[in-house]
Structures are given as structure tokens and as C-alpha cells.
């Protein structure tokens, strides 16, 4: 079975085209609307704040995984990091910049746990347009 759709005059099929750099920005209103809808959708499916946090974390994991793959494939001489601090630094600098227009403010190690790190943003864009539901 071979899929053959008309590719147009002299154009390659979409799957054979190289990954482009793409436009590296999304309108703030579109982002806010999509984020708000995602939160509201999950709020309607859960009963507690803990369940909501879990569902949003699951959504965030999927988005983060796809963004990391996309950023890696778009970079020319990218090497995959294998150490945790290197991976987190790549997320803080490259992926964060792609998603939010600037690198995160800092990468911090937890004081009480040696294997826990936090990517810190002084003014997180996502917190600007949401409020925590009452239990």
C-alpha cells in the first residue's frame, strides 16, 4: 500500500521535506487560550487538586517530550546530553527559549535533596492567566 497524494508542481510530499526552523513564536492570546482550555478540560474530569496536578503533569510531560525532540532535530550540531545537569541546562536554555521566548532564569539544586533540581522562572507566563481552584 502506497500513499500518493498530489504534491503539486515540483513540490515534494510533506513527509519528504526537511524540518524547517519554523516560526519561533506563538501569539500570547493563542497560548493563553489553549492553556486555559487545557486546564479547564482537566478540571472538569477530576475531583481534587491533587488529581488536577497529576493530570496537568501528564499533559506537560507529553508536551515537554515532543518539544525536546523538536528542538533537538532543529539544531544542526546538537549532541544529546546524558548527564542530568546537562539535560536540565539544555531544557532551561534551549527548550525554554523556544517555548517562552527567553531562557529560564535559573537552574537550582534543592537544599534538602541531592537529586532534586528546579528550573526557576521569576515571572512565569503560565501563572499570569490562571488561578488555583478551591477544594
pLDDT tens for 93-108 read 988 888 888 899 999 9
Statement: the pTM of the whole predicted model exceeds 0.85: no
* Span of 26-40, 55-69, 111-125 with lowest mean pLDDT: 26-40
Query: How far is Cα 19 from Cα 27, in angstroms, rounded to an integer?
Result: 21
Average model confidence (pLDDT) across the chain: 81
pLDDT tens for 14-40 read 667 666 655 656 677 888 888 889 989
Residue 3 pLDDT: 45
Task: Give the helix ranges, DSSP H, for the chain.
Answer: 28-43, 49-74, 84-90, 96-100
Amino acid at each position: 500500500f502506497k500513499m500518493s497524494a498530489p504534491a503539486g508542481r515540483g513540490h515534494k510530499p510533506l513527509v519528504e521535506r526537511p524540518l524547517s526552523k519554523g516560526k519561533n513564536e506563538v501569539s500570547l492570546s493563542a497560548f493563553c487560550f489553549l492553556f486555559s482550555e487545557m486546564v479547564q478540560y482537566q478540571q472538569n474530569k477530576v475531583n481534587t487538586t491533587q488529581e488536577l496536578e497529576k493530570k496537568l503533569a501528564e499533559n506537560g510531560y507529553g508536551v515537554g517530550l515532543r518539544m525536546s525532540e523538536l528542538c533537538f532535530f532543529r539544531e544542526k550540531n546538537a549532541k544529546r546530553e546524558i548527564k542530568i545537569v546537562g539535560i536540565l541546562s539544555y531544557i532551561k536554555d534551549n527548550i525554554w527559549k523556544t517555548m517562552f521566548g527567553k531562557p529560564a532564569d535559573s537552574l537550582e539544586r534543592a537544599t534538602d535533596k541531592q537529586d532534586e533540581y528546579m528550573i526557576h522562572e521569576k515571572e512565569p507566563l503560565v501563572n499570569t492567566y490562571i488561578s488555583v481552584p478551591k477544594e
